[in-house]
């Protein structure tokens, strides 16, 4: 079974992906945070994130989010110009600002809109498309009315996160609903949602032996060694994780600090990772990292926390 790195806005950008791949192993493909077309343009920071010159991972899959074929066109044009032959369509994002525009999980209650996107998929045969989705926006039955549409077009795979868009990440994943989707979907299926340990991965593999891959999101942010643990079939010790995480963190510091001006921008970029990273770290030490007001204090608190982990 393969292991994929999920697209997480603000976290799994090019710097993180490149350094994770250089320090850790086990991830078979990295998905980019979604590209979107708004106000007649694509954000320059999003363009930089998918440019080939800024990426060194061997298997990078760009993700797009759109509600209409017209929104897809400039995104596909950009990705073609960068030489991409694989594109993932986001129908799972639960952010309200996107959902109210009928993007991400917000498109799931509208079969006709999904059909129009899938017609665009069929017409762009030079690109291999996949879909990442949820069970629905407000009803767990919404995916069922979409299956005839999704099964009728050539898709590389479908990633299912078995929650509703309205639930975001609050309720438990619905494994029974995923099992029903798994039976009905004619495409290769990827599981995503609440995978935080090696035993979680093995449980999905055992319960769904034909699943193509498990996609790791917040679990990989919490334990960057998780994919490697699966491939090596062992849990890493605290000491092993400490060395690898410090190597990756220090490399991120070296790459980001010269580019970001001053304490505020650097800290606003780095501190959010610690909301997920190493959840079993001592709470007082994590709190000290998150309260750091200067780069110097931040690095000192990170070094203390890692040395005690």
What is the predicted pLDDT for the residue at 119?
98
Domain co-membership, 185 together with 112: yes
What pLDDT shows up at residue 130? 99
Residue 7 CA: distances (Å) to CA of 21, 126, 192, 204, 276: 15, 23, 11, 20, 15
Q: Kindly state whether residues 76 and 106 are assigned to the same domain.
A: yes
State whether 303 and 222 are in the same domain: no
In contact, 176 and 160? CB cutoff 8 Å = no
Structure confidence at residue 263 (pLDDT): 81
Q: For residue 143, count CB atoms less than 10 angstroms from its CB and return exposed for 0-12, middle for 13-18, buried for 19 or more.
A: buried
Greatest Cα pair distance in the chain: 56
Domain boundary among 232, 260, 291: 232
Domain termination residue (choose one: 172, 205, 232): 232
Q: What is the CATH number of the domain that holds 166?
A: 3.20.20.70
- pTM for the model: 0.96
61 lies in the same domain as 188: yes
Task: Supply the pLDDT for residue 262.
Answer: 76
Mean pLDDT of 130-135: 99
Q: Work out whether the CA dihedral 83, 86, 89, 90 comes out positive or negative.
A: negative
Q: Per-residue pLDDT for 257 more than 90?
A: no
pLDDT-derived band of residue 95, with 50, 70 and 90 as boundaries?
Answer: very high
**Number of domains the chain is built from:** 2
Kindly tell me if the per-residue pLDDT of 96 is higher than 80: yes
The mean per-residue pLDDT over the stretch 83-111 comes to 98
CB neighbours of residue 158 within 10 Å: 25
Q: Are residues 215 and 264 in the same domain?
A: no
For the segment 93-106, the average pLDDT, to the nearest whole number, is 97
Looking at the structure, do residues 264 and 131 belong to the same domain, yes or no?
no
What are the strands, taking DSSP E only, across 106-192?
A: 128-136, 158-164, 189-192
169-213 pLDDT per residue, tens: 999 999 999 999 999 999 999 999 999 999 999 999 999 999 999
Residue 22: helix, strand or coil by DSSP?
Answer: helix
Q: Find tokens 């059909």 and name the residue.
A: 115
**How do 37-38 and 41-42 pair as beta strands?**
antiparallel
In this structure, are 28 and 90 located in the same domain? yes
Is the model's pLDDT at 260 over the cut of 90?
no
Domain range enclosing 291? 238-307
Give the β-pairing of 2-5 and 213-216. parallel
pLDDT of 217 over the 70 cut: yes
| Residues in CB range of 18: below 8 A, 6 or more apart | 55, 56, 57
Cα distance between residue 226 and residue 4, in whole Å: 11
Domain end point (choices 190, 206, 232): 232
Percent of the chain at pLDDT > 70 equals 99
Nearest to 131 by CA among 116, 121, 145: 121
Same domain, 199 and 58: yes
Confidence at residue 261, expressed as pLDDT on a 0 to 100 scale = 67
Q: Tell me, what's the pLDDT at 12?
A: 98
Same-domain status, 215 and 182: yes
Nearest to 133 by CA among 144, 119, 120: 144
Residue 189's nearest CA partner among 210, 162, 169 is: 210
Q: Radius of gyration over alpha carbons of the chain, in Å?
A: 20
Instruction: Quote the CA–CA distance of 94 and 210 in Å, as a whole number.
Output: 27
Same domain, residue pair 226 and 297: no
For tokens 């090019």, the residue is 14
**Within this chain, do residues 190 and 284 fall inside the same structural domain, yes or no?**
no
- The per-residue b/e assignment along 26-51, b for 16 or more CB within 10 angstroms, e otherwise, is bbebbbbbbbbbeeeebeeebeebbe
- Is 164 found in the same domain as 123? yes
Mean confidence (pLDDT) of the chain: 97
The whole-number pLDDT of residue 259 equals: 72
């Amino acid at each position: 079974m393969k292991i994929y790195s999920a697209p997480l806005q603000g976290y799994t950008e090019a710097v993180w992906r490149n350094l994770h791949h250089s320090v850790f192993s086990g991830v078979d493909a990295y998905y980019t945070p979604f590209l979107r077309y708004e106000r007649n343009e694509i954000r320059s920071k999003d363009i930089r994130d998918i440019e080939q010159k800024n990426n060194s991972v061997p298997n990078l899959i760009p993700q797009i989010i759109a509600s209409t074929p017209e929104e897809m066109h400039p995104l596909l044009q950009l990705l073609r110009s960068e030489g991409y032959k694989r594109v993932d369509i986001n129908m799972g994002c639960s952010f309200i600002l996107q959902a109210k525009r009928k993007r991400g999980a917000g498109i799931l209650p509208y079969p006709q809109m999904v059909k129009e996107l899938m017609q665009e998929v069929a017409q762009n045969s030079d690109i291999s498309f996949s879909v990442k989705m949820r069970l629905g926006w407000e009803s767990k039955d919404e995916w069922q009315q979409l299956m005839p549409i999704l099964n009728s077009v050539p898709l590389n795979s479908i990633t299912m996160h078995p929650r509703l868009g309205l639930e975001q990440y609050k309720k438990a994943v619905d494994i029974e609903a995923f099992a029903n989707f798994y039976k009905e979907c004619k495409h290769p299926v990827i599981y995503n949602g609440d995978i935080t340990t090696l035993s979680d991965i093995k449980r999905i593999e055992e319960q769904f032996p034909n699943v193509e891959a498990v996609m790791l999101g917040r679990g990989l942010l919490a334990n960057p060694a998780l994919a490697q643990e699966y491939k090596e079939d062992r849990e890493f010790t605290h000491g092993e994780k400490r060395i690898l995480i410090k190597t990756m963190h220090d490399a991120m510091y070296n790459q980001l600090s010269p580019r970001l001006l001053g304490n505020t921008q650097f800290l606003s970029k780095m501190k959010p990772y610690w909301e997920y990273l190493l959840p079993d770290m001592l709470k007082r030490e994590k709190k000290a990292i998150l309260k750091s007001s200067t780069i110097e204090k931040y690095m000192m608190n990170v070094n203390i926390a890692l040395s005690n982990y």
